[in-house]
Structure 1
Amino acid sequence: MSVATKSIHVAISDFLTQLIENRLKNYSADDALFFYEKASLEAIKSSPAISGIFKDYTPKNEEVIIVLIALAPSFLPHFFNSLISRYFPEGGEFVEFGGVKGANHRGIIPTGETALFILAGNDLDKRFRIQQLLGNDAYLAKSGMLRVEDMKEGEPKMSGKLILDEETVEYLISGQVSRPRFSTDFGAEYVSTAREWDDLVLSPSTKRQIRDIEIWLRHHHTLMEEWGMAKKIKPGYRALFHGPPGTGKTLTATLIGKYAERDVFRIDLSKIISKYIGETEKNLSKIFDKAQNKDWILFFDEADAVFGKRTNVRDAHDKYANQEVSFLLQRIETYPGVVILASNLKSNMDDAFLRRFNSIVFFPKPTADERLLLWQKAFPKQIQMEADLPEVARKFDLTGSTIMNVTQRACLTALHQNTTIITDDLLYQSIRAEYEKEGIAI
């Protein structure tokens, strides 16, 4: 029965069962007796699930089989145990097969040794070749798809579990991948918006610089790969957005992602920094490792928290703070996608860092004309505007986010008063409340 008429999981199970049973029957005999159905494997390789995880890469047969071996316990927890028990019904350890128990999973979890045994048996040349496919510089590890668990010093590397990327497992089982959720283990939050570019009011200079980022997103593959610039310049694109709060930095990053069809993840560096040595680097590594091959746009808010001006090393705290900066800078410079850092003040940033950015984009407070446009765009079509918006725009030096706060307050007040009319009194009352919230008297 072909893969087209069977579930991919059944096809994988049947293929691996035949493969492993053949190895178990012949593991002590000449390896020439070992074989597997290449037609079945080719059908599995061409399925949407498998071809979807390898994307533009043409995998070797052994690489596909290693992925299938690592996947098996995720949909058949007893898979390896049932096969082993058929050939060793009296139990006992089967060292050659490898495998370990998990903290909660009671079945056999395959290790590097398991893959070596199934694919190479006792053939040393084959074992060395398969071990290379499991190395840190090979495709499976470099793509982030699969790696061998790091072992304690003195223990063979291939004794480590085959760790298949969580998203790869999810895709192979369900056919889709959900976005990671913000948590203590993943300090990045997915951000999106229903707003459009027309809703955003930016200065002409800012718009021109944003356009540079969009051009890079559209053409970077051609530039780096087809034109060979990957040999000459660093991967990725690094931008600094700086300007007062509420001037559109986060919304701009989100809109860039929306129109470039890239997911945008916001990382608040002021919250991800840990006082414990090594924890900040660990938190950041989780984000970069997850993002490495996803084409995500990483938006680091409150970048001053890490990239402020470095001080001379006076104590251990200064030493480790500078190490955190160096680590983050190294990960940013090797990230192949877009990284945007946001700061309220460019002067807070160390000059040594500023030279590393491809663009530095200033978001000024809006002019009176720009504020008028913001006011005109802010209110819903149901509102009848009787307030003198040109005078309000001239008189009050507000940012876009503050204008939206005032708009929300004014609309709610109008609804409460059972009216759709926004008067000068109602609008001024809402502006006054916003100023009071910030401790400013008018």
Structure 2
Amino acid sequence: MFLRKLKNKLRSLALVFLIQFSLAINSPTLTAFVLAVSARKINSLGRLTVLCLRRSIFIDDVQAMARWSGQIKYVIIEREHLRLVLYHFLTRVERETISETNYYTSNIGQAGKQRYYAYLNKMFPTLKKFINFEAGLAGNFGYIEQQELARIFLEKNIPFFVLHKEGLTFAGVDQATANEYVKIYKTFKFIGSKMLFYNQQIFQALVNLGIPGLNQDQAVVVGIPRMDNYFNSAGTDQPSNQVVLFSFYPSDKFFNFSGEAGGKKLATIKDIAYNFHLWLMRFAANNPKIKVVIKTKYAQQYLDYVTDIFNKNFRKKINNLVITNLGDASKLIKDSRVVLGFKSTTLLEGIIANRFIISPYFGDIIPNDALDYFTKYPELVKYAKTEKELSEWILQTDRYLDYNQESKNKFLTDLIYLPDGRASLRTEQAIINTIKNNK
């Protein structure tokens, strides 16, 4: 494990060095070569080739499409490598201030963006020659390093798609609430051929918002491809004596609190989140025969958040407790009896897999606020208000696990469109049809 991590780290550093070197000598051809040879390939038997910009959850969708539809070969380049190229043409101050929300509404980095576009334009033919792609695909339409690249795709009459992995609306909310939620995108533009959506509400909300470049004809609802993993293997996976918490970082989940009152609420929310993690660690210490996994996002700050909680409260290792930022979420869910977390699609995956779901309770702080997937479906989740409740539910899942199938299906339809295991097929077909119609 250590040697593999060291090898990956050295490879990553070498690629960064080569990209920076190619920029220093002003060689778009070398940059394209480095991006191409470092690209990861998924489904080499696909009849069409699509260039992808990597993002962790998005790549889970891509892998599902390759597995359950299999018509497209995906060649994946690191989005962060493109950002290196963009940042090369920006000053330090511009790098710190440019963002998705101001990319099209300010003059920050204007000259740098033009130079970035010119460099990509020179790089593009070589990249296409090496990879021979017929379209581009990303998991969000706001990434700053993506804007000029997508523009070049369209200028060269090559389709560019976005499988919109962000902004999953909450089950049961009305369309007016969904419309309000997507106003965070009001300064964005859509540069692409077609945007593919997880569910009907987010589709309608973004179309209603009137984002430049996006209209009804450029949008289609397909569902969430990675959820096919559960529908298409239903009944074949038997969980072990394991529980998994998909750790949540309070400042990420509750970013819209401001002022003194908002600050106090956020402080209380942070306490609840802290205790929820701590309760599960204590549960692991008190129940050594049950494996407890706390899975964080990959970035070091998320891993540090959980390890700091552990280090402040425990003096020695708990053998049955694993804290990690690695591992496949799908496998962790399939191997676990209980899935814990908050406002994460992993909880939806747990519902599909018929796992027991536990979340922290924030209702006393933010009542009547659609901040939880289960706001209108509380029967599908257990909200742990105390450490005792959390422990009791984990130890007695058979007693409490009893999903109403009608409620479960309605919940899933609200969030993932059709709960039929065919999202991968719909997504790839939408891409293929657009490529064919574009020729």
Tell me the TM-score normalized by structure 2: 0.28
Q: Look at both structures and tell me which one has the larger radius of gyration over its CA atoms.
A: 1
Which protein has greater RCO, CA pairs closer than 8 Å, 6+ apart? 2
Tell me the TM-score normalized by structure 1: 0.28
